[in-house]
Every structure is written in C-alpha cells, then in structure tokens.
Structure 1
Amino acid sequence: MAGNHLHTIFSAHAAAPGGHYTQAVAHAGVLYVSGQLPVRANGEHSSGQPFEVQASIALDNLLAILDEAGLSQRDLLKVTVYVVDIQHWPAFDRIYARYLGEHKPARAVVPVPALHHGYLIEIDAVARIAQEQCP
C-alpha cells in the first residue's frame, strides 16, 4: 500500500543521531521525530550554555527535520519536552511560542532529573504529513 512503508528522514541542518536511531521516521501519514538535544548541526555540544540557548538549538533541530520532510511547525500534532528543573518551564514556553507562532499543538512538559551529556532540555514530536507528501 502506498504510504504504508517506513521512510527515514535525515537533515544535515540538525544534529546527527548519536546512537542507534534516526532523526525521524515517516509512516502512514505521520512523522515521528526522535528526541532532539541541543547539539548543533555541526556536532558542537552546548551543555554549558544557558537554558534559553539550549532550548533554541533543540527547536532549531526540530524545525530543520520538519523542513527536510517538507513540513513546518504548523504540521506539529504533539510535542513532548523534557526539562531538567521545572523552573525552566516559563522560559521554554516563551521561546516555544516565538518559534511556533499561532500554532498550538498538543504538548507535554515533563520534568526529569537528568538528560544525556548534562543537557537541560530534549524535545520529541509527532507531525502530520499531507497525503500528497507521503513518501
């Protein structure tokens, strides 16, 4: 069946996977984006940077992957955000609103005790793929 196979997405404008996973997988009209840490596309780590910088890099990665799939922030259906220390929630909400504009997908912000490499944020997402865009 057309559109029922798995199609992996890779953007050179987002951080390359650091383990046994892909940046995103498209299947049956849905794009599943793996957790995006604040690693720059060139592999540069930013764990020592302020939360706001880390959040922006993680969101840049997410949007670059969406773009590679021919999508935009308006196609996001569900976003899950993992933050170390819930005190960062207000700052994240402001940055997120700036990136997404009027679009408000379903979202969860989950406080966690720690993230890989000492990062303060990780973001994963699910987005819709228009029927004509299905690979």
Structure 2
Amino acid sequence: MAKQIIHTDGAPQAIGTYSQAVKVNGSTVYLSGQIGLDPATMELVDGIEAQVHRVFKNLKAVAEAAGGSLADVVKLNIFLTDLSHFALVNTIMAEYFTQPYPARAAVGVAQLPRNALVEADGVLEIGA
C-alpha cells in the first residue's frame, strides 16, 4: 500500500500529532478534522457561520492539495457543539457541495479543540 502525507499552507497546520490528510493507493484520501482556524493566523474565526465556512474552506484546500476537490468527498462527518446549528450547516454546505451529496453524519459533541463550535473530516475517492 502506497501512503502519501498531504500538506498545504492553505489550511491550518496540525495542532496535534496528525497530518492534514493521508492519501493511500493514489486515490483514497483521509482528511483530518478541520475546525474554523484561519490558516494565516491560526486563530479561530468568530461565530458559528464564519466557522462553518472556514471549516469547508480548510477541507477544500487540503482536498486540492491531495489532487482532488470537494466533489470527490464520499463521506463527511460533522461535529457540532450545538445541534441547533444543523440547518445552518446544511445551508452553508450547499454552497460548497453539489448533488449528489456525499454520505454524511452530524454528531452533537460536548466540546471541540480550541472551543470550536464545529469540526468536519472526510474521505475522498479521487477519480471515482
């Protein structure tokens, strides 16, 4: 199995012991969780709407660094500290993804790194 570590300055640097993404066998990419960190400042953007947008922009940057795009996402996991933001996530997600949408889970959690309000990770299958 060929394994390639993916890195881009277009997304925040890892804040722990992980890579931004790992590409295996040339076509499957595992995206690490992204929170609403601005990659230039490494500061969390303010508010749920801005954080959701930043999360998708960060995922997009890593997907592109891996040679893919958000259109290649086959599975997306979204973690929210407040599930009342579920509808907002759906609305914003529609700005970054088109039908057919990827499989997805949305999970309510007690807390996220840096007290973020939302985090998302995913799996891409490039060329599928």
TM-score by length of 1: 0.89
Runs of 4+ displaced beyond 6 Å: none
SS in 1 for 2:40: coil
SS in 2 for 1:108: strand
Aligned length: 127
Shift of 1:50: 1.2
**Map of 2:102 onto structure 1:** 105
Match of residue 58, structure 1, among 55, 58, 61:
55
**Map of 1:19 onto structure 2:** 16
Alignment of 1:1-135 (within 5 A): 4-28=1-25, 29-46=27-44, 49-130=46-127
Structure 2 unaligned runs (5+)? none
**Max radius of gyration: which structure?**
1
Q: Which amino acid aligns with 1:78?
A: K
- CA contact 1:73–1:103 (8 Å) conserved in 2: no
In 1, the alpha carbon distance for the partners of 2:39 and 2:47 equals 18
- CA contact 1:75–1:127 (8 Å) conserved in 2: yes
Shift of 1:100: 0.6
Structure 1 unaligned runs (5+)? none
In 1, the alpha carbon distance for the partners of 2:60 and 2:121 equals 11
Question: How high is the sequence identity, in percent, across the aligned residues?
Answer: 30
The alignment yields a C-alpha RMSD, in angstroms, of: 1.3
